[in-house]
A and B are shown apart, each in its own frame.
Chain A
Amino acid sequence: MSFIEIVKPGGLSHIQDRGRTGFEYLGLSRCGPLDFRLFAMAQTLVGNSLDDAAIEMTYQGLDFLSPHDPVIFSVAGVQDIRIGSCIHPARTTLEAGPGQRVSIGRLTGQRAYLAVRGGFDTPRVLGSRSTDFTAGIGGWQGRSLRAGDEIPVKAPPPHRIPAFDMLPDDTPDCDSPLHVVVGPDTGEFPPEAVNTFLKAEYAFTSASNLMGIRLSGPPIKPRDEAASKVSRGMVPGSIQVPPDGQPIILLNQRGTIGGYPVVATLLSPELWRLAQWPSSKKLSFVALSPAKAQAYSHGIYRRLMAWCEGVVGQS
């Protein structure tokens, strides 16, 4: 069976497929890529399905090689890639020969995706190859990748590579405010809290990980009664506010339930944008009505899927 060997693991690199479905009622979070857009683009460029697994890299790319077989791969979220001694523009399908070292280097944003043709063939755990750091399952031995790991690769599909196509512009927009729908727990805040929240600029704090991003900025303290509320389900994008008034944005590996009131919820594609947001840069929010929010997100998903299908259609 063919495999790639991790030579240098980069920042934090881990295996993710589309995510784990059907176990959130037992407290297992869905996981999946933080930036689904770049994940989908990388998979599409090598002719994989969006159900295949790729490697999510954080801040710094990894180095790998395929010892015995040539490997066809793509990386979304970097400018260029070193293969052996040559530097190649990254936004296309690439190939490395047996034993040739591939260095992914610096990412354009905060996260990038490595897809290999065929997809990574790590064991499915509870129906998914996604790494779940809380449960310590999935991916490669339930953990982030280390130097020396040998990650199996599935035999490539028989159809030819769809197209040596360029990615559309994969630079994320990390300037405009992130779209949210206000609520549902606005009743647990004083009346001015939502306005304060929407006018404020928030900074990232270091207490952030794959479960959530803790912000710091103008406090929006919940009413005292909020403390007595029972826990409720949380989704990726829920913006929870603990008693100190400093919001926490929950991500794909969040705890599935939480006791703090939710002031607003980020739209799904905005989580992809957030995944690329430089941690040194302040962020702010803008509210949409639920109907406008759904239309906005639909448009983004539709364009992304149309691009993916368009590339596959050329094969």
Chain B
Amino acid sequence: MTQVAISWYILGDFNIRLDFSKAPEYENGDSVYRVFEQLREDNRTSSWHMVPAYQTLTISYPWNQSLQEVLSAVNESVSAQNMPKMPPSRRFEIPVCYQGDLGPDLPFVAREHLMSPDEVIRLHSQPEYRIEAIGFSPGFPYLSGLPRELATARRNTPRTRVPAGSVAIGGLQSGVYPLSTPGGWHLIGRTPFILFNTANTPPIPYQFGDRLHFSPISRDEYEELLQHPYSTDFWKRT
């Protein structure tokens, strides 16, 4: 384990932002992930709110906890020499149907890049994406790893309502809309599964640092899986 140098800022009164972007060993968010996971194990953090996103970890702590205590918990997690039993980031398979009305912007994206829709599907379902942040709406993953050939500037006019399960491209990123919300990304497919389910703990199966892979399914398979929208069998964790 190498030492990670981080900078931190106070936000208002009882919040801090840890910034890992200038840390010499900073690489693709792994150090943020490790520190975040380590802190979650610490009982001093049980009433903290934590938001990991890209190179930062934002923390809100209770008013009756001292900044010193917060910083020492952070320091211990950062300098833990033997990040023990750190769960490796997990991999999830997300079945996606890219057909017809389920991917209304697929023809546009294909035209934009002078390729066939099938080529877009092939490229989009190839990489293993990494979750760099979850936010915008509950469970919306910001995914890095989109092939550069598919980078597509966001829509000029966002949709007022994007169907839940929509798989989308926005700039150099891909993402999934777990809830029906407004959205400005290009919708190229849809997963039949309901990703946000408060009956599960946690209510979203993946988290910051995990990896997602999209597997194309046919319309028939999509319709069949729709009968079991809460199924979790498809989470092939590896």
A-B interaction: yes
Residues of A that sit less than 8 Å from B by CB: 21-28, 30, 125-126, 132, 134-137, 180-181, 183-184, 230-235, 237-238, 255-258, 262, 265-268, 290, 293-294, 296-298, 301
What sequence of 0s and 1s flags, for each residue 165-180 of chain B, a beta carbon within 8 Å of any chain A beta carbon? 0000000000000010
- In the bound complex, what is the Cα–Cα distance between A36 and B66 (angstroms)? 20
CA separation between A21 and B47, bound complex, in Å? 6
4 nearest interchain CB pairs?
A233-B58, A257-B135, A233-B51, A265-B12
Q: Can you list, as one digit per residue, whether each of B41-76 has a CB less than 8 Å from chain A (1) or not (0)?
A: 000000101111111111010011001000000000
Cβ of A180 and Cβ of B12 under 8 Å apart?
yes
**Residues A27 and B12 in contact in the complex (CB < 8 Å), given A233-B53, A256-B51:** no
CB neighbors of A among B173-194 (8 A): 179, 181
- Whether, in the assembled complex, B133 has its beta carbon less than 8 Å from a beta carbon of chain A, the answer is yes
Contacts of B208 in A (CB 8 A): 25
Q: B98 in the interface, Cβ–Cβ < 8 Å?
A: no
Task: Write 10 A-B pairs (CB below 8 A) sorted by A numbering.
Answer: A25-B207, A28-B138, A126-B203, A132-B138, A135-B196, A183-B9, A184-B17, A233-B135, A262-B11, A268-B12
In the assembled complex, the Cα of A301 lies from the Cα of B52 at a distance in Å of: 27
Given contacts A23-B138, A232-B56, A258-B135, 10 further A-B contacts (CB under 8 A): A26-B203, A26-B204, A126-B201, A126-B203, A136-B179, A184-B10, A230-B133, A267-B13, A268-B12, A293-B12
Q: Among the interface residues A21, A27, A134, A232, which one has the most CB atoms of the partner chain B within 10 A?
A: A27
Q: Which of A137, A181, A183, A257 contacts B53 (CB 8 A)?
A: A257
Cβ–Cβ contact B13 & A181, under 8 A: yes
Using a CB–CB distance below 8 Å, which chain B residues touch chain A?
Answer: 9-15, 17, 36, 47, 49-58, 60, 63-64, 67, 132-140, 142, 179, 181, 196, 198, 201-204, 207-208
Cα distance A132–B14 in the bound complex, in angstroms:
22
B133, A231: Cβ atoms closer than 8 Å: yes
Q: Which chain B residue shows the least CB distance to A268? A: B13
Please name the residue on chain A nearest to B132 by beta carbon: A230
Give Cα A105 to B55, complex, Å: 48
Cα separation A267 to B58 with both chains bound (whole Å): 16
Contact B67 A25 (CB under 8 A): no
Cβ of A26 and Cβ of B207 under 8 Å apart? Answer: yes
Give bound CA distance, A232 to B57, whole Å.
Answer: 8
Quick one: which of A26, A126, A181, A183 has the most chain B CB within 10 A?
Answer: A26
Chief secondary structure at chain A's binding surface: mixed
List of B residues within 8 angstroms of A298 by Cβ: 63
Q: A287–B26 Cα gap in the complex (Å)?
A: 33
Of chain A, the residue at the smallest CB distance from B134 is: A27
B11 to A256, Cβ gap below 8 A? no
Q: Which of A233, A258, A266 contacts B12 (CB 8 A)?
A: A266
Closest to A135 in B: B138
- Would A21 and B12 count as touching, CB distance under 8 A? no
For B51, the chain A residues whose CB sits under 8 A away are 24-25, 233-234, 256-257
B163 CB, min distance to chain A CBs, angstroms: 15
The reply to whether B198 and A137 contact each other, CB–CB distance below 8 Å, is: yes
CB nearest neighbor in A for B17: A184
A217 to B: closest C-beta gap in Å: 20
For residue B47, which residues in chain A have a CB less than 8 angstroms away from its CB?
A: 21
Q: Is B13 in contact with A297, judged by CB distance below 8 angstroms?
A: yes
Chain A contacts of B12 at CB under 8 A? 180-181, 235, 237-238, 265-268, 293
Contact yes or no, B17 A25, CB < 8 A: no
CA distance A248 to B19 in the complex (A): 23
B11 / chain A contacts, CB cutoff of 8 Å = 181, 183-184, 235, 237-238, 262, 265
**Closest-CB distance, A177 to chain B (whole angstroms):** 15
